Structure 1
Amino acid sequence: MSELPNHDELVERIQRDLIDSYDEELELEIEDRDASGYLSDGAEAASEPADLRKARRMAYFRELFRLQGELVKLQDWVAHTRRKVVILFEGRDAAGKGGVIKRITQRLNPRVCRVVALPAPNDRERTQWYFQRYAAHLPAAGEMVLFDRSWYNRAGVERVMGFCSDDEYEEFFRSVPEFERMLVRSGIVVLKYWFSITDDEQHLRFLGRIHDPLKQWKLSPMDLESRRRWEEYTKAKETMIERTHIAEAPWWVVQAVDKKAARLNCIQHLLGQFDYHEVERPTVVLPERVRNPDYIRQPVPGDMIVPEFY
C-alpha cells in the first residue's frame, strides 16, 4: 500500500493541479496567434513594450478568471432556481463567437450549460417547420443553452446565398418575433448577441486561418464566399436587427475587433442580465476509503499500456 502524502506535499499537489487547470486558458490564448505576418502587403502590427504587453495580458487573465467564477455562480443559481436560458451568438465569420463561447463554458458543468452548433439542414429537415430543429434543443428547467449560430441563419447566410425563397424569408420575419415571444412567455430567457467586426479585421483573421494549419478547417467554401459578399451580408444584418429587435428579446451588439475585450464585455453583460446570487453548497467531506486486507490489485498487462513518449 502506497503512503499518503504529508500535508505540505498535498497542498503542493493541489496547487499544481490548479495551475494546470488554468493552463487550458493559456492553450486557448496560444491559439489566437497574431496573424499580422500573413498580411499580403507585409505590414506588421503596431508593437508595444514587452512589459506593457505582459501587464495587459495579466489584467485580462485576472478579469477573465473573476468573470468565470461569477459564471459558475450563475450556473448554480440557474440550476437551483430551475431557470431556462437561451443565448444566441451571431456575427460574421471569424467574428469571435466561438472564442467567447469557449470562455463561457470552460469552467461550467456541461449538464447545465451546453452548446448547440447545428450543421446545414438535411433533406428531411428542410421539409419541417423552420424552427422545428432548433426547438428540439431548447432548455429544460435548470439549463442554459448557447446557440453558436441559430434560427437567424435564414436572415443571414440563407438570404445572401439564395438558400431560401423570398416568401420563406418574409415568413421568417413574420414568425420569429412571435416565436421568441412564445419562448419568453413560457419562462425562457432569450439573449441575442451580434459580434461586430470591421472589413479589415475579418480580412486579417481569414488570412490567419489560411496560413495556420491548425485553423484551416475553420474555413469553408461558404466562408470564402461570404468574404466576397461583405456588403450583401451587411445589408442582411441591418434588416435582420431592424425587424427582430423586440422588447422581449432585444439584440445586443458586441464590438469584437479586440477579441479579449469582446470576451470580457460579453460575459460581463451576460452576467448583468440576471439577478443571481451565490447558492450555498453543503460542506463536502471526503470519506475514508474502505481498505480490505485481502484486496490485491491486479497488474495491467504490459501490452495494454500506452507508451510514455513524454
Structure 2
Amino acid sequence: MEIRELRYFVTIVEQSTFTAAAAKLHISQPSLSATIKKLENKVGLSLLDRSARDIRLTKEGSILYYEARKLLNHFEHVLDEMERLKKDGPLDISIGLIESAKFWLPKVLCEFKKQYPNIHVKIFDLLSSHEVINSFNNYKIHLAITNQFIDNSEIKSIPIYEERLVALIPESHNLTNKEYLTIHELETEAFIVCREGFQTREDILNTFRKAGIKPNLQFEIERFETACSLVENGLGITVVPENYVKNAPRYHFQIKQIQKPNNISRTVYLTMNKNRYLPPIVLTFIKLIKEQFPNTDIYEQ
C-alpha cells in the first residue's frame, strides 16, 4: 500500500462520494476509481459496498479507514515536524489537563520557561478518557495529566499522586457547623455530579455504592467551576478535588472533609503515547514533573 492510495481512500470515506472526493483531490473520477480498485486488489478485500447509492464501508473497509486515518495523522505530523526543524521555528509542547492540576502546573511551567524562554505551550482542557484518546490519536497533545487510567495498548498511564476529594456545601446549609461529614449525611441532599464518562463521577458514585446508599442526583455538569457556582447559589452539594478549591482566592461555600472509612480520593496520571517520538523538550518537561513529585518512578514504569 502507498500513502497516496490510503489518502485517496480516506478522502472518499470522508467526502461520501467519488465525485466530491475527486474534486477535493484535484484528480479525475476515473483515476480515483482505478486507484481504489487497485488498493482493493492489493489487500485482497472489498473495502466499499458499491450496491448502495451512497458510499458505505464494508467491515474490512471500516478497519482500514480507522488505521489509515491514524497513519496519515502520524505521517502529517512527521512532515510538520521536519518543516519545523528546517525553518528552525519556535519550539512547542501541547499538554492535556484536568482542572485540579492548576495547583502545581504553573510551578513546572515557570521552571520550563527558564530553560526554554521561547517555548510555545498549548494547554487543552481534557476532561474525559474519550477526549484524551482522541487527542493522542490526532496528535493534538504530547502529554496528558488525567485522573483516569487509560486502558489502551498504545497509551502509557503513570500514577504521579493521589488527591483527596472534599464536599462543598452552601454557606447557609445546616451541615456547616460540622467539622467532618460522612457519606451517609450526603444521601438525601440535592447532589451535583460530573456527567457520565468522567472518572470523578465513578469515584464518587462507587463510594456511595460501597456505603449501600444512592445519592439524590439533581445536576450533572462537566466542569468543577460550574459545580462550585451551583453550590454558591444554594442549589445543592458537590464533591470535588481538594486541590481544586484549597488555593481558590475567594469562594462562597464551605469545604468539608469526608470522614473515614468513606473518604474519597483519586489517582492522577501522567499519560503519553508509547509509540510516538517525544522531542527532547517533552522529555525535559517529564523530568520537571518527576522533580515536582519525587516519589514517582516515571522512568521505571
Task: Identify whether the pair has TM-score above 0.5, normalized to the shorter chain.
Answer: no
Higher helix share: 1
Q: TM-score range by the shorter chain?
A: under 0.3
Higher strand share: 2
Greater relative contact order structure (CA < 8 Å, 6+ sep): 1
**TM-score, normalised via structure 1 length:** 0.24
